Amino acid sequence: MAVYEEKSARPAPINTNGAIYWLKENLFATPLDIAITFLILFVLFQVVPPFLNWTIFDASFLGSTKADATGSGANWIFVKDKISMFMYGFYPQDQLFRLQILVGVTLVEIVLFKYIAKTIKQKIFVFVLYPIVAFILIKGGMFGLVEVPTNKWGGLLLTLVISFVGIVLSIPIGIILAFGRQSNLPVIKNLSVVYIEFIRGVPLITMLFMGSVLLPLFFQEGVELNKLLRALIVITMVESAFVSEAIRGGLQAIPKGQYEAADSLGLSYWQKMILVILPQALKVAIPNLVGISIELFKDTSLVMIIGLFDLLSMVHLTSNDSHWLGMETEGYVFVTFIYLIFCYGMSRYSMILEKRFNTDHR
């Protein structure tokens, strides 16, 4: 017969919160973890302090020439001195106020678009107005503004112009291509597929070479295409194919019932696509579209190979200045920093959008 025996109480569990528990759970859980943690800490102590010393503690910030550099670290005076090159390229110094106005206009536009414009029509108006104002401000040649030829554009300005024009133009073309690829009409479908797969299979750099070498041959004699326009044509051609794939992904996510419902309401093909399918498809496609915009922003750096002076090419140009020889490292770090801010910012923004649009009614 079983006899009841009182057992002594087990010890209370060690506390499951607090710093010590966190450390134990996240850094020192197993012997292997302990070893890896110490290894990583060792490497971090080898790498991080020298890096911080170079970028901040031993760096020189004050002064205006190379000789003013006092520390043994980075010479940020170089970046300070060349900041207008990095931002605007060879844009005439006395015209820079136009670009500063443009920054203000951009902010006003964002506020107008987000908070003031209520109806779709107003939003479209604000959206279309922006590139026109921006073009007039940058290019000039009208309203009493001096014309600045495109070969003077450079730096971050050029990178942003190419990215913006590329993405804005390629979205409508991409939508048409995506419709084409989903079409029931065999000719249109196959033409779209061939175009998209061709572009996607070829590196951007060969397309840019094609733009700079072959494109002039395709036009009538006497038609002058400047380098920027050639690059823009090629980049729009390429991006349209990528955009169309993102939108096709969105189209495929739309349940068939939506198409059938639109058909049964008696909508025409274009009514069906624009009023019913596209708004839903775009919502699904937006994260991918932002991803493509990030890719495009990074890929604009390739235009330096065909001789445009974008942000990346400024590293080479500015550090070739005889007053500032040997400053390439600072240039690369600074440019890396700018690219990181833009790309990381865009990817964060896409996450916010994804959350906002996630109505999840499937």
**Under the rule (CB under 8 A), what is the footprint of other proteins?**
25-27, 29, 33, 36-37, 40-41, 184-188, 191, 198, 200-206, 209-210, 213-214, 216-221, 294, 298-299, 301-302, 304-305, 312, 315, 328-329, 332, 335-336, 339-340, 343-344, 347
Tokens 């964060």 -> residue: 348
Amino acid present at 248: R
**What is the nearest approach in angstroms of other proteins to the Cβ of residue 22?**
8
Smaller CB separation from other proteins, 60 or 163: 163
Smaller CB separation from other proteins, 286 or 343: 343
Amino acid present at 243: V
For helices 186-201 and 227-252, what crossing angle results, to 10°? Answer: 120
**What is the nearest approach in angstroms of other proteins to the Cβ of residue 85?**
17
Smaller CB separation from other proteins, 111 or 202: 202
Smaller CB separation from other proteins, 205 or 253: 205
Q: Quick one: how far is CA 329 from the chain centroid?
A: 23
Distance CA 268, CA 274 (A): 10
Burial label, 4 (beta-carbon count in 10 A; 0-12, 13-18, 19+): exposed
Task: Report phi then psi at 272, rounded to 5.
Answer: -60, -50
Smaller CB separation from other proteins, 137 or 287: 287
Distance CA 321, CA 312 (A): 16
Smaller CB separation from other proteins, 41 or 146: 41
Q: How far lies 163's CA from each of 4, 31, 150, 300, in Å?
A: 80, 49, 15, 7
Distance CA 292, CA 240 (A): 10
**What is the nearest approach in angstroms of other proteins to the Cβ of residue 197?**
8
**What is the nearest approach in angstroms of other proteins to the Cβ of residue 297?**
8
Record the tokens describing residue 280, joined without a space: 């839903």
- Cβ-based neighbour number of residue 228 at 10 Å: 18
Record the tokens describing residue 143, joined without a space: 């309203």
**What is the nearest approach in angstroms of other proteins to the Cβ of residue 139?**
26
**What is the nearest approach in angstroms of other proteins to the Cβ of residue 9?**
30
**What is the nearest approach in angstroms of other proteins to the Cβ of residue 50?**
14
Smaller CB separation from other proteins, 204 or 228: 204
**What is the nearest approach in angstroms of other proteins to the Cβ of residue 312?**
6
Neighbouring residues of 117: CB distance < 8 A, sequence distance ≥ 6 = 123, 125, 126
Record the tokens describing residue 171, joined without a space: 């979205």
Smaller CB separation from other proteins, 153 or 342: 342
Q: What angle do CA 210, 148, 98 make, to 5 degrees?
A: 120
Distance CA 267, CA 277 (A): 12
Smaller CB separation from other proteins, 13 or 201: 201
**What is the nearest approach in angstroms of other proteins to the Cβ of residue 304?**
7
DSSP letter for each residue of 143-205: TTPPP--GGGB-HHHHHHHHHHHHHHHHHHHHHHHHHHHH-S-HHHHHHHHHHHHHHHHS-HH
